[in-house]
């Protein structure tokens, strides 16, 4: 049986990484062992979280000028697990990184400890480790008055706004090479261009597109609607956090934090339920039905041990993770 031709792996944004290039150093002398994330946090008391500051509901600056989002809440829970494990306070320090490719590279190289709200791809998993997912999403198109249906043929020649280096950009390139992709600085400017008729659609993650819409729906002109198409996403994936490879203890602690959030919601634990409902629940940003949230959380936890309370992985002091610091 003939073997398929091997090709370089392609990351989101078209970054090509050759496996041969990655393997050329195998014969060289082993360098000194790098400091792990847990060791660095034990030394500094700081967990570095990277991301954008304009992605609703992941990480964004609210009307009060505060950096908030589900990514911040998940990272704070991870910091709490680290605090218990290390028996010392751990705070989250937020580092603003606007480019998806740059953020992935910083995490892969260990310069950023954690990034949350990251879509899973097998290519990315080759170079960074993922936590358990805490949401499910996919690529869709935001259109004005449902002017597009999301079919490949309907995208020919259309002006589609995309964040550079995003999965939305990569998916539309694959789906319809003849679409006219327009790079965006942020999704909010894309929605404004869509309303002004300068774009035919904005492509991106369903959750962040839906979150971005919350800033526009109340002030839409009469007769104008903003719709997500198609009904079934153009690509579906789990959303979780990424961390540098070869950090098994940190990954275990991060997974414990995510699993604790999901299990806490299912068990009706007040803090976990309030966190999930703030972003995903019927009265939250995305207004998802509880049965949909429960079904996904149950499916994630089905293959792992039920998380009980309290959980202690080391002699514990009262956790005291500070609120994330201002972006820099």
The DSSP result for 237-260, as a single string, is EEEEEEE-SS-HHHHHHHHHHHHH
CA distance 210 to 287: 10
Q: Tell me, what's the pLDDT at 323?
A: 46
| 292 in the same domain as 149 | no
| 241 in the same domain as 128 | yes
The answer as to whether 106 is a domain residue is: yes
| 149 in the same domain as 96 | no
Which of 71-80, 133-142, 211-220, 250-259 is predicted least confidently?
A: 211-220
Q: Which of 234, 263, 280 is the last residue of a domain?
A: 234
Q: Is residue 145 over pLDDT 60?
A: yes
- Residue range 94-122: mean pLDDT, rounded: 95
The answer as to whether 10 is a domain residue is: no
CA distance 258 to 277: 15
CA distance 289 to 159: 33
The answer as to whether 5 is a domain residue is: no
* Contact of 145 with 224, CB cutoff 8 Å: yes
| 103 in the same domain as 93 | yes
| 220 in the same domain as 156 | yes
Q: Is residue 159 over pLDDT 60?
A: yes
For residue 120, give Cα distances in angstroms to 204, 282, 289: 14, 25, 23
Q: Which residues pair with 59 in a beta bridge?
A: 55
- Return the CATH number at 190: 3.40.190.10
Q: Is residue 38 over pLDDT 80?
A: yes
| 131 in the same domain as 88 | yes
Q: Which of 194, 213, 234 is the last residue of a domain?
A: 234
Q: Tell me, what's the pLDDT at 188?
A: 94
The answer as to whether 167 is a domain residue is: yes
The answer as to whether 11 is a domain residue is: no
| 126 in the same domain as 42 | yes
The answer as to whether 317 is a domain residue is: no
Q: Tell me, what's the pLDDT at 324?
A: 52
The more confidently predicted of residues 182 and 326 is 182
What is the pTM (predicted TM-score) of this model?
0.81
Nearest to 201 by CA among 138, 150, 237, 137: 150
- Read off the pLDDT of residues 112-126 as tens digits, 9 standing for 90 and up: 999 999 999 998 899
Per-residue pLDDT band at 104 (split at 50, 70, 90): very high
* Contact of 46 with 33, CB cutoff 8 Å: no
Tally Cβ neighbours within 10 Å of residue 325: 15
Extract the tokens encoding 316.
């514990």
CA distance 74 to 304: 19
| 192 in the same domain as 66 | no
Q: Which of 202, 234, 266 is the last residue of a domain?
A: 234
| 55 in the same domain as 142 | no
Torsion of CA 265, 204, 104, 300, to 10 degrees: 30
The answer as to whether 328 is a domain residue is: no
* Contact of 155 with 175, CB cutoff 8 Å: yes
The more confidently predicted of residues 197 and 33 is 197
Per-residue pLDDT band at 241 (split at 50, 70, 90): very high
| 159 in the same domain as 243 | no
* Domain carrying residue 288: 37-135+237-301
- Read off the pLDDT of residues 227-240 as tens digits, 9 standing for 90 and up: 999 988 998 999 99
Number of structural domains the chain divides into:
2
The answer as to whether 199 is a domain residue is: yes
| 257 in the same domain as 122 | yes
- Residue range 300-326: mean pLDDT, rounded: 55
Per-residue pLDDT band at 34 (split at 50, 70, 90): confident
* Contact of 74 with 134, CB cutoff 8 Å: yes
| 126 in the same domain as 243 | yes
């Amino acid at each position: 049986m003939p073997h398929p031709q091997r090709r370089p792996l392609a990351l989101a944004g078209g970054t090509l990484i050759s496996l041969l290039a990655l393997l050329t150093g195998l014969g060289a002398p082993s360098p000194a062992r790098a400091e792990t994330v847990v060791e660095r946090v034990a030394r500094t008391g700081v967990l570095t979280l990277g991301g954008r500051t304009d992605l609703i509901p992941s990480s964004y600056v609210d009307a009060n000028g505060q950096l908030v989002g589900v990514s911040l809440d998940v990272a704070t829970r991870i910091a709490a697990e680290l605090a218990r494990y290390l028996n010392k306070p751990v705070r989250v320090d937020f580092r603003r990184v606007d480019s998806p490719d740059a953020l992935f590279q910083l995490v892969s190289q260990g310069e950023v400890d954690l990034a949350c709200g990251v879509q899973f791809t097998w290519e990315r998993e080759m170079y960074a480790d993922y936590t358990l997912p805490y949401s499910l999403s996919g690529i869709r198109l935001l259109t004005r008055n449902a002017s597009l249906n999301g079919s490949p043929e309907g995208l020919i020649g259309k002006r589609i706004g995309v964040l550079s280096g995003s999965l939305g950009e990569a998916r539309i390139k694959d789906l319809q090479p003849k679409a006219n992709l327009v790079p965006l600085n942020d999704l909010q400017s894309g929605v404004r261009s869509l309303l002004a008729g300068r774009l035919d659609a904005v492509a991106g993650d369903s959750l962040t597109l839906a979150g971005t819409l919350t800033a526009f729906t109340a002030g839409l002109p009469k007769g104008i609607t903003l719709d997500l198409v198609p009904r079934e996403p153009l690509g579906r994936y789990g959303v979780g956090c990424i961390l540098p490879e070869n950090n098994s203890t940190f990954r275990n602690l991060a997974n414990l934090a995510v699993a604790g959030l999901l299990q806490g919601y299912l068990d009706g634990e007040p803090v976990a339920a309030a966190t999930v409902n703030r972003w995903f629940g019927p009265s939250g940003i995305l207004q998802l039905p509880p049965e949909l949230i429960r079904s996904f959380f149950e499916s994630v936890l089905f293959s792992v041990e039920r998380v009980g309370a309290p959980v202690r992985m080391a002699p514990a002091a009262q956790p005291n993770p500070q609120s994330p610091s201002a972006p820099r």
